[in-house]
């Protein structure tokens, strides 16, 4: 009888611990990326202001190849550049035979969306808002379902062409393009 109880207890422990084996602590770069300057990616919308040139000032989309098209300049690589770097690139191209002393400002007009899956009421794609946390995103998706694990979430984040995954508290900040997965709780 004792052997059967011991075997049952060990089997139960194996099942419970097996459920925990999916834990992935995020790599250090996961949180360090939050401190880096923002770099443009595909699906971002960029507001370009060329002072004194209203016909060049507009909002442009970054396409799936990482490029955007600007009048007079044509297509230029925007993916991976900070707003300041992109402004400098546009100024240099405009200075090359179009405008004597261009003064260009670049800012994010609209961030790429975040994606929310799992145990939320309305999974899907949602607009990213600067300063958004996982908890804010979950609220945007209608909140948790009754079965949701409400302590932490799994986040998939693309950085420098590499895909990183980790489990973080719901209070963690998000980046544009993140995918959140809310797991079902065990009990």
pLDDT digits (tens, 9 = 90+) for 12-44: 444 444 444 455 677 777 778 788 899 999 999
For the chain, give the longest Cα–Cα distance. Answer: 92
CA pair distance 116, 134, nearest whole angstrom: 9
pLDDT digits (tens, 9 = 90+) for 150-179: 999 999 998 877 888 999 999 999 999 999
Q: Return residue ranges of the chain for CATH 3.30.1950.10.
A: 45-110
Token duo for residue 165: 């995954």
Token duo for residue 2: 């004792």
- DSSP state string for 96-155: TTT-SS--EEEEEEEPPPEEEEESBSS-EEE---TT-BHHHHHHHTT-B-TTB--SEEEE
Mean pLDDT for the stretch of residues 105-134: 96
CA pair distance 121, 138, nearest whole angstrom: 9
What pLDDT, on the 0 to 100 scale, is given for residue 18? 43
Specify the fold of 24-36+112-182: Outer membrane lipoprotein wza fold like (3.10.560)
Question: Is CATH 3.30.1950.10 the right assignment for the domain spanning 45-110?
Answer: yes
What pLDDT, on the 0 to 100 scale, is given for residue 32? 80
What is the pTM assigned to this prediction? 0.80
């Amino acid at each position: 009888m004792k052997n059967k109880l011991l075997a049952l207890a060990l089997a139960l422990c194996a099942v419970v611990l097996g459920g925990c084996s999916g834990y992935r602590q995020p790599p250090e770069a996961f949180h360090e990326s939050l401190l880096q300057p923002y770099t443009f990616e595909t699906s971002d919308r960029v507001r370009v202001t060329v002072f004194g040139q209203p016909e060049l000032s507009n909002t442009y989309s970054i396409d799936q190849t990482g490029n955007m098209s600007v009048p007079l300049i044509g297509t230029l690589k925007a993916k991976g550049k900070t707003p300041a770097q992109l402004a400098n690139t546009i100024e240099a191209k405009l200075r090359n035979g179009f405008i004597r002393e261009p003064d260009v400002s670049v800012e994010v007009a609209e961030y790429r969306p975040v994606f929310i899956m799992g145990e939320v009421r309305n999974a899907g794609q949602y607009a990213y808002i600067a300063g958004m946390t996982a908890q804010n995103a979950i609220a945007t998706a209608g909140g948790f379902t009754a079965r949701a694990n409400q302590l932490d979430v799994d986040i998939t984040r693309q950085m420098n062409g590499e895909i990183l995954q980790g489990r973080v508290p719901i209070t963690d900040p998000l980046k544009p393009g993140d995918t959140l997965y809310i797991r079902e709780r065990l009990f």
